Amino acid sequence: MQPDKKTQICRNSFFVTVAALLCCALWGSATPFIKIGYGLLLPQKNVPSIILFAGIRFAIAGILAIALYSISRRKFLYPQKENWGRIVKIAAVQTVIQYLFFYIGLANTSGVKGTIISGSNVFFAIIIAALLYRQERLTWRKIFGCLLGFAGIIAVNLNGLDWNMNFTGDAFVLFSTISYAFSSVLIKRYSQYEDPVIISGYQFLTGGIIMIAIGFGFGGSVEIATSAGMGVLIYLAFLSAVAYSLWGVLLQYNPVSRITVFSFVIPVFGVLLSSLMLDEASSVTPVQLIVTLVLICAGILVLNFGTGKEKT
């Protein structure tokens, strides 16, 4: 049967590339804005306050996604009753578990190692999609494409890389990465039953409320005393609402491997935007950036070449 117009657009290579890169650019911009937000919004930068900050951000992201999508559809949108359980599952793995482990782990490891470990989410997403949920086939082409992209992440972080491992730091970031990989697969699976934008909005709202409760419960505090601080919070919420909703739509119509490989670009955007926005010395050389972009682009091309016959 001939795919409808929306399906054809969402599977078009140009649209997929532009939309996925937009998502990655938004996520990459989160790093400098989060660091700026720490200075503007957190009187004490401890774990409960960071979790509270993240919870407020994601709760607002959920409200924005629901409101904007409802306005565009000219009616208030909400999940079907039977899909609430699925939304809670995604909220648990994508928002609550992922960010609890990520923020605690990142406090106990270097940014370089955190970036590299986080980059492994593409491997886990493809393995989970192929071996656990049977959503697509695991092929040597996919493995090779992932290795190219991962090599790009290592190249951009090579100057600050060390090989010492610790449990509460490196392992926690790894747990966060696995949780995120599961969320990508679950979003693709559950988008068969519910609009992915509705899923994103309500899972953010649910997960955000849970994280707010955890942050408050352990004594966290956030002070929104300036317009700059409010602006940072709204931007972080907006980028999450837009990027995750658009990412969910891409996953709905394409194989997990075709979309998640673009995640390798996020650290590149993070490095570039952080160097422009933050008063931090960058150890990344132009040669490293060129090598990184070549490797990541090669990985993306490998995983996007000949995907028309893939099981979706």
Report pLDDT digits (tens) over 223-259. Answer: 988 999 999 999 999 999 999 999 999 999 998 888 9
Structure token pair of residue 197:
């934008």
Phi, psi dihedrals of residue 132, rounded to the nearest 5°: -95, -45
- State the Cα–Cα distance between residues 201 and 244, nearest whole angstrom: 9
Q: Where are the domains of the chain?
A: 13-309
For position 47, what pLDDT does the model report? 85
Q: If you average pLDDT over residues 117-145, what whole number do you get?
A: 80
Distances from the Cα of 11 to the Cα of 59, 249, 264, angstroms:
30, 10, 20
C-alpha angle with apex 143: 95 to 265, nearest 5 degrees?
50
SS3 261: helix
Q: What are the E-state strand segments in 166-255?
A: none
The per-residue pLDDT for 114 is 62
Q: Rg for the chain (alpha carbons), in Å?
A: 19
Task: Report pLDDT for 188.
Answer: 87
- Over range 125-142, report the average pLDDT: 81
Where is pLDDT greater, at 284 or 14?
A: 14
**Residue 312 above 50 pLDDT?**
no
Reported as a single tens digit per residue, the pLDDT across 135-188 is 778 888 888 888 887 887 777 666 655 555 666 777 888 888 889 888 888 988
The residue-averaged pLDDT of 97-111 equals 75
Model's pTM, two decimal places?
0.82
User: How crowded is residue 128: how many other Cβ atoms within 10 Å of its Cβ?
Assistant: 18
